[in-house]
Amino acid sequence: MDGILDAGRAFFDGLYSVEWSALALAVLCHLAKVAARTRAWRNIVQAAYPEANVRWRSVYGSYVAGVGVNALVPARGGDVLRLYLLKHRVEGSTYPTLGATLLVDTLFDTVLASLLVGWALAFGFLPGLDVIPSLPPIDWLYLFQHPRAAALVAIVLVVLALAGITWGARHVKDFWARVRQGFSILQRPREYLRLVVLWDAVDWSLRLASVYFFLKAFGLPEHVDNVALVQVTQSLSTALPFTPGGVGTEQALLVYVFQGEAPTSALLSFSIGVKIVLTVVNVTIGFLAILLMLKTFRWRDHVDRDPATSRRPS
């Protein structure tokens, strides 16, 4: 908590030096990135339900609503809302199938993020296991310091995942068939490349452009290596989001990978500044989408009343 407060003070102290035009371009790139990402997800869902009319605006609204909730709630709680909203706007859709489409939607991200992390590890940009314990702000540091607890957490997660799959297979008619339906577009590689990978490539191009302009806005060196390293820290910070957005992890990794290139205060200002800006943007468009789609901000009431999310997924 102290690290976050220090970063907040550094951010507000450095506000006078922010380049606002670059900040505006960073936000525009972020918004365009979200639009490209939702085009890819819409095409995945449409391939799973070829007879349905999958409207992009419904997919976009569902996606940004989930992003807005994830910005405030840890452990990606907004993904449940994302599925709930889209299920009620795609006729005949089911949670197992829509959940599978989310997995397809992350394939490109996983491959590219893994390549970037591998590059950062190979060239020594990321801290090793011997260094991680000295980076206290990292959200999942406790697991590195207590391997037995880490093993227990891993076992519990595996058991819960297996229990969920087993429950679904027993209670949901044609469960595995519905899951396979969500992967339909992968059976047509050309369509997958044209309708998904292409949009994902646009998404990543805009994502990196947004990082570039954020670095420029906060007066940090914006060369290619730094853009890639910031993206690596963002990917790692959201891999295990025990806090909203993984803000502690991102701060710790940024300070480590940029050591010697910029003052710690500037790095903390950049980290918390980007987090504040993106959180405000994501929450604003996300809760506006919730209001337009549900006519209320009390989204939990809707999800809790849905028997498919609380007791009997369909």
pLDDT of 298 reads: 74
* pLDDT over threshold 50, residue 312: no
pLDDT at 270: 86
Taking residues 262-280, what's their average pLDDT?
84
Query: Cα(36)–Cα(204) distance, rounded to whole angstroms?
Result: 9
11: which DSSP letter?
H
Closest CA to 211 of 282, 275, 281, 286: 275
**Domain that residue 23 falls in:** 2-310
Q: State pLDDT tens for residues 182-216.
A: 999 999 999 999 999 999 999 999 999 999 999 99
- Judged against a pLDDT cut of 70, whether residue 141 lies above it is answered with no
pLDDT at 268: 77
89 Cβ contact partners less than 8 Å away, ≥ 6 residues apart: 55, 58, 62, 293
Averaged pLDDT for residues 113-125: 86
Round the average pLDDT of the chain to a whole number and report it.
Answer: 81
Residues 248-271: what's their mean pLDDT? Answer: 75
pTM above 0.95, yes or no: no
H helix intervals, 172-223? 175-182, 189-192, 198-217
Residue 241 has pLDDT above 70, yes or no: no
Question: 155-188: per-residue pLDDT in tens?
Answer: 766 666 666 666 555 555 577 889 899 999 999 9
What percent of the chain is predicted at pLDDT more than 70? 71
With cut-offs at 50, 70 and 90, classify the pLDDT of residue 314.
very low
Q: Give dist(CA 126, CA 231) in Å, integer.
A: 12
- Number of domains the chain contains: 1
